[in-house]
Amino acid sequence: MKITLSLSGGGLRGAAHIGAIKFLEEQGVTVTAVAGSSAGAIVGLFLAYGLKSDDMLKFLNNLEKKELFVWASDSVGVFSMKRVEKKLREIIKVEDYSHLKIPFYTCVTDIDTGERCYIKEGDPIEYTIASSTITPLYEAKKIGDNSYIDGGFSDNLPVKPLKIYDEKNLAININPLRGEDLDSFKSLLIRSILIMIRSNSMPSKQLTDAYLEIKGVANMHLFDFSEIEMAYKAGYDEIKANWVDLSKKLV
């Protein structure tokens, strides 16, 4: 079976995408094109480069909190993604999208215009980092004359750029809403961001051929390193449990 794959953002919940990809590998499913936002862009880049799920998971497990939260200097954002970018360049040895093994579209948000952009030309690592910069937590990524922020702010589940392909599309969303007490500024802020991001994912649910929401990560915080393995397992288990229905929509 050949499909295209859309991957949503969601911080370290992105490990759920890797678990789902592990299952697809076991089923012999070939992904012919991929699009992603934020964490989904990082996993999408890995996939387009040709990495297997085991190597993707190894990257996440080797990532340290101090690399994700580097203080930004002379910047509007609090933190910088420079160390994450450096780690990506140690693994991904390409400087242009055309050198990837399959087509890859990175969703970023132009901070000046507010428009969503599906990038397929230029340096894929630069745009993947741009797609992962959750402002105001992280500084915007300047590329050329433009500054970009997290793709999740404009399209957290990019299906649209993949509609040009003949293969059916599978879209995986790792942002289910969780039940929690909204009794602090932090919890209210995170909830508000998740609602906003989730709402711009809903049009993609109508565009895709098969939609899967990983409910098992609902209570996982976006940057909880201790739950990476749990998210991975949730992604694997839930696509497996729903595969009979999903596969019927993908043929």
Task: Sketch the domain layout of the chain as residue ranges.
Answer: 2-250
CA distances from 82 to 18, 69, 79, 90, 206 (A): 23, 10, 9, 13, 36
pLDDT by 10-residue block (mean), the chain, 251 residues: 97 96 99 98 98 97 68 56 90 97 98 96 97 84 94 96 98 84 68 77 92 94 89 99 98 95
CA distances from 20 to 7, 35, 79, 136, 203 (A): 10, 15, 30, 30, 22
Q: What is the pLDDT of residue 77?
A: 47
Distance CA 41, CA 109 (A): 13
Q: Which residues pair with 117 in a beta bridge?
A: 108
Residue 15 burial (10 A CB sphere; 0-12, 13-18, 19+): buried
Distance CA 143, CA 49 (A): 21
Assigned CATH for 2-250: 3.40.1090.10
Distance CA 57, CA 228 (A): 9
Q: Which residues pair with 116 in a beta bridge?
A: 109
pTM of the predicted model as reported, rounded to 2 decimal places: 0.92
Q: Where are the alpha helices (DSSP H) in the chain?
A: 15-26, 39-49, 53-62, 65-68, 82-91, 124-131, 185-199, 202-207, 228-241, 243-250
Distance CA 143, CA 166 (A): 32
Residue 165 burial (10 A CB sphere; 0-12, 13-18, 19+): middle
Q: What is the pLDDT of residue 67?
A: 57
The one-letter amino acid at 193: I
